[in-house]
Structure 1
Amino acid sequence: MPFVSVIVPTLRRPESLERALRSLFSQTAPIASIVVVDNDPQATARDTATRLTAESPCPLIYRHEPHPGVATARNAGLQETDAPLIAFLDDDEAASPQWLAALLTALDRTNADVVFGPISGRVPADTGWATSYLEAFFGRAGPSTTQRIDKPWGCGNSLMVRATALPGPAPFDASADQSGGEDDALFAALGARGGTFGWAADAWVEEFAPPHRATMRYALSRAFAYGQGPSQTAAKARDWPAVAKWMIVGAVQTALWGLAAIAATVIAHPSRAELMDKAARGLGKIFWMKGFEPHFYGTRELARLDRLSPSAA
């Protein structure tokens, strides 16, 4: 039986973390260990992990990583297990009972280094006209069948062969702690080494966007950051012609989709959110430089949560 550890990084989401962990307790495939990485300096996930330890069908390991940062948290989780297969589940996700079994089946069928699964986005009921867009934004759609795929997805809902996909003691780049994109860099390097990616069509999870993220402002900021990716990747490779190409592509996309978004907004067309998203991604290709990078994790996210806390009033 494959030796799989599931790593769950978490930051001040005790209720969401409990939902994620209970979904792992119900898996039909065996798990060697579950590693909870508490990325809050105040160790707010400790009580939840401790309380649920007795209910876990496998060792539930708690790791406190007080330095806030998404890449640092993932690296800390890897330090707590020597499993040859590593699955990642985000603390705002809940896995279906067949989730891990489907990932393992896909890994066997595709012989890939990393396999990803689909995500069903869930947002609060008060998101109004943007609900459909936000559900799709926080979700993930892919092929209807399990197969090899050309491009990787994000780390949440994934299974990786440690020896090939996660080289070294700290494979995630800590320079991405605040902005994210540590998984993009990891998978880009894997692809450059000839690594392969797979899709597990039945490995479903639900992702529950918290209220402070289930907004157009947040989604468009993320879309802008996603748009920065191609330009930043080319810049890191010092491929300046490619940088120029992506910036030109971005300028065209910004102009085209921006005008379309304005027109759709005036008439309240249902597609206006998707058009805004495309325009934001184009803008990101233009403004890819340092200083324009939005920060979604680490100390910035802690500051947001502090502002949202009732005790901060």
Structure 2
Amino acid sequence: MARVTVMIPTQRRLGGLAVAVRSVLTQTHVDFGDLEILVVDNDQVDSARSTVEGLAVGAACPVHYVHEPRAGVANARNAGMTRASGDFIAFLDDDEEAPAGWLAALLAAQARYAADVVFGPVRARAPDSVALHRDYLERFFSRLGPAEAGVIDHYYGCGDSLLRRAALPDPVSPFAAERNLIGGEDDMLFGQMRAAGATFAWEPAAWVWEDPVPDRLTLDYTLARAFAYGQGPSAHCAAASPPDRLGVARWMAIGVGQAVVFGAVAGLKWLTRSKDRADWLDRAARGLGKTFWWGPFKIQFYGRTA
């Protein structure tokens, strides 16, 4: 039984997957005898099997392959949790690359703060071919946080995190299937854990690179994603039991204000070709998301396997 499982969900990104797995296999200051790597292939066909089997040959720790053909990010993560044997689950995305000290830094922070979840920074890097809005795009796909390590009162996404399995509300299927198509299954889980008194920590030394796929390095993608991110607070209030209608109304009102103010600024910035014009469009899109958050306006980013 492994002490730590590094889980890497994937879907048709064989090059990025190989980079991610190899980066785990070159970690320092960890005991590979206590480690396993688990790749969860969320494709209808087992398209990543041969890649994973090749990476497993001669590896310093077991490299397991799990095929989850049911579409959806929550399905993929839950399938991995079912197979994982670790007391701790570290999540790495298939477009991320972990520096050599990444896992040791996560584990040290967990022990130092008795944390149920530890998060680390994500540093996005765009290829040299991306010139327009490059700074904005790299910031969009990055995760920034405090300069100092310590206990935090909020949470981030699953990518580059370490979970203590015993702290999960369900150690086998903790991710909500209703979020398969729209994402946010990790936010829902961490929100439940925070409500239950879980301890979250931040470790700036546990950072990873992220290499977004080229078709995401466009304003069409990031503004749609910003709109979806903006929907989060309103949708969270609506999904509460009982529904927090006052919270929904408050967030919708905030969204209207943001959409109007930031949208006006964005228009002026665009007319003057200001360097930061994409940032203001992003803020306006998030405001619109708070306002238009229900069914017809939900955008499907996940769950496509065909």
Q: Distance in 2 between matches of 1:167 and 1:57?
A: 30
Q: Distance in 2 between matches of 1:202 and 1:14?
A: 27
Which residue of the partner structure matches residue 139 of structure 2? Answer: 136
Which residue of the partner structure matches residue 10 of structure 2? Answer: 10
For the 8 Å contact 2:25–2:60, the answer to whether it is kept is yes
Q: Distance in 2 between matches of 1:266 and 1:91?
A: 38
Aligned with 2:234 (options 226, 231, 234): 231
Give 1:263's aligned amino acid. L
Q: Once superposed, which parts of structure 1, at least 4 consecutive aligned residues long, lie more than 4 Å away?
A: none
Residue 168 of structure 1, CA deviation = 3.9
SS of residue matched to 2:201 = strand
Give 1:258's aligned amino acid. G
Residue 214 of structure 1, CA deviation = 1.1
Residue 271 of structure 1, CA deviation = 1.2
Q: RMSD of the alignment, in Å?
A: 1.2
Q: Distance in 2 between matches of 1:292 and 1:127?
A: 30
Which residue of the partner structure matches residue 64 of structure 2? Answer: 61
Q: TM-score normalized by structure 2?
A: 0.95
Give 1:291's aligned amino acid. P
For the 8 Å contact 1:124–1:209, the answer to whether it is kept is no
Residue 166 of structure 1, CA deviation = 5.2
Which residue of the partner structure matches residue 194 of structure 1? Answer: 197
Give 1:266's aligned amino acid. L
2:264 matches 1:259: yes
Q: Distance in 2 between matches of 1:273 and 1:150?
A: 30
Which residue of the partner structure matches residue 250 of structure 1? Answer: 255
Which residue of the partner structure matches residue 161 of structure 2? Answer: 158
Q: Distance in 2 between matches of 1:241 and 1:150?
A: 23
Q: Distance in 2 between matches of 1:147 and 1:55?
A: 37
For the 8 Å contact 1:75–1:169, the answer to whether it is kept is yes
SS of residue matched to 2:247 = helix
Q: Distance in 2 between matches of 1:102 and 1:4?
A: 13
Runs of 5+ unmatched residues, structure 1: 304-313
Q: Distance in 1 between matches of 2:94 and 2:163?
A: 18
| CA displacement, residues 56-101 of structure 1 (integer Å, 9 cap, x when unaligned) | 2111110011112111000011111221110000000000100000
For the 8 Å contact 1:124–1:214, the answer to whether it is kept is no
For the 8 Å contact 1:98–1:203, the answer to whether it is kept is yes
Which residue of the partner structure matches residue 31 of structure 2? Answer: 30
Q: Distance in 2 between matches of 1:120 and 1:272?
A: 22
2:123 matches 1:120: yes
Q: Percent identity?
A: 47
Which residue of the partner structure matches residue 306 of structure 1? Answer: none
Residue 124 of structure 1, CA deviation = 2.9
Q: Distance in 1 between matches of 2:227 and 2:115?
A: 30
Which residue of the partner structure matches residue 286 of structure 1? Answer: 291
Quick check: 256-265 or 27-36, which moved more?
27-36
Give 1:295's aligned amino acid. Q
Residue 115 of structure 1, CA deviation = 0.6
Which residue of the partner structure matches residue 309 of structure 1? Answer: none
2:212 matches 1:241: no
Aligned with 1:42 (options 42, 45, 48): 45
SS of residue matched to 2:282 = helix
For the 8 Å contact 2:81–2:171, the answer to whether it is kept is no
SS of residue matched to 1:195 = coil
For the 8 Å contact 2:73–2:303, the answer to whether it is kept is yes
For the 8 Å contact 1:129–1:270, the answer to whether it is kept is no
Tell me the number of residue pairs that the alignment of Structure 1 and Structure 2 aligns: 300
Give 1:223's aligned amino acid. A
Q: Distance in 2 between matches of 1:149 and 1:182?
A: 20
Give 2:112's aligned amino acid. R
Which residue of the partner structure matches residue 51 of structure 1? Answer: 54
Q: TM-score normalized by structure 1?
A: 0.93
For the 8 Å contact 2:165–2:171, the answer to whether it is kept is no
2:24 matches 1:19: no
